[in-house]
Amino acid sequence: MKEQFYAYIQQLQDTITSKLEEVDGKAKFQEDVWKRAEGGGGRTRVIENGNIFEKGGVNISKVFGELPEVLRKQFGVESGDFFACGLSLVIHPKNPFVPTVHANWRYFEMYDGEGNIVTQWFGGGQDLTPYYLFEEDAVHFHSVCKEACDKHHPDFYPKYKETCDNYFWNAHRNEARGLGGLFFDYLKETEEFSMQDRYDFVTEVGNSFLNSYAPIVERRKDMEYTQEHKDWQEVRRGRYVEFNLVHDRGTLFGLKTNGRIESILMSLPPTVQWKYNHHPEEGSEEAKLLVVLAKPKNWV
């Protein structure tokens, strides 16, 4: 399973970076291959200062070895080895009317002293973070997510949509990071689903990603904007940073397993503002976004 999924994310990274370069029309992804001293490594690809994408990364990694102490405590084991691989991406567009997007699909195995698999699971998802609310974009993104889920089980979309709304919640701000999407974790083998079923579902979602996001980029990329729009985008990007550094499990996992810091912090936007006690004007387009972020909405 681990070889199968790692081969998949290598191919998916190629597919996604090629399409995003085509959409941008100017910038190319710079590739950075790295190694982890304890075992494994990764292939980081970053795009910067494009026509459309101000900064973005599409990274894959495969790490393995002895379980770090923090994970031994988390899993309640005294010793053990692990393997983890995944693809993680974050794209920050230049135009404030084009939303930021994040996605991640990953696989984890843990072993006993004999090298036998003790537990294994898939996790991941994708979510949309706009700076201005266009309902048709939210509907499109969620429709693609639902379509991918529905091919595997009718309960998947409502369940993983709700998990996403709960997960990408900036508790210290009492607001959502964005408009949600899908989030699932610890997808293990059950009586109903084999690990191959789990693999088929996760790859279905991964394959649907470009269709969920690229049409929105095409629709918004040429809209004219002002410095005021850009200022608001940068204030909201600050909330994005807060979530990633305070709450995000993936970021914290990377930091606690001696991951590569440049790849972990690739998710942070290039320019951000923190304005003291900032509130948009009542009834403004900016304020409309905050209404939706205060209470998750069913888009489809």
The residue from 92, 102, 140, 142 that is catalytic is 102
Query: How crowded is residue 168: how many other Cβ atoms within 10 Å of its Cβ?
Result: 23
Pairwise CA distance, residues 224 & 95, whole Å: 8
Stated as kind and residue range, the H or E segment containing 160 is helix 156-167
Closest alpha carbon to 11 in 3, 134, 83: 3
**Contact indicator for 95, 221 with CB cutoff of 8 Å:** yes
Those residues whose C-beta lies under 8 Å from the C-beta of residue 224, and which sit 6 or more positions away, are none
**Contact indicator for 146, 89 with CB cutoff of 8 Å:** no
Closest alpha carbon to 12 in 182, 201, 198, 203: 203
Query: Does residue 102 carry a catalytic annotation?
Result: yes
Pairwise CA distance, residues 129 & 289, whole Å: 10
**Contact indicator for 108, 123 with CB cutoff of 8 Å:** yes
Tell me if residue 194 falls in helix, strand or coil. coil
Task: Report which residue type is found at 81.
Answer: D
Q: Enumerate the active-site residues.
A: 102
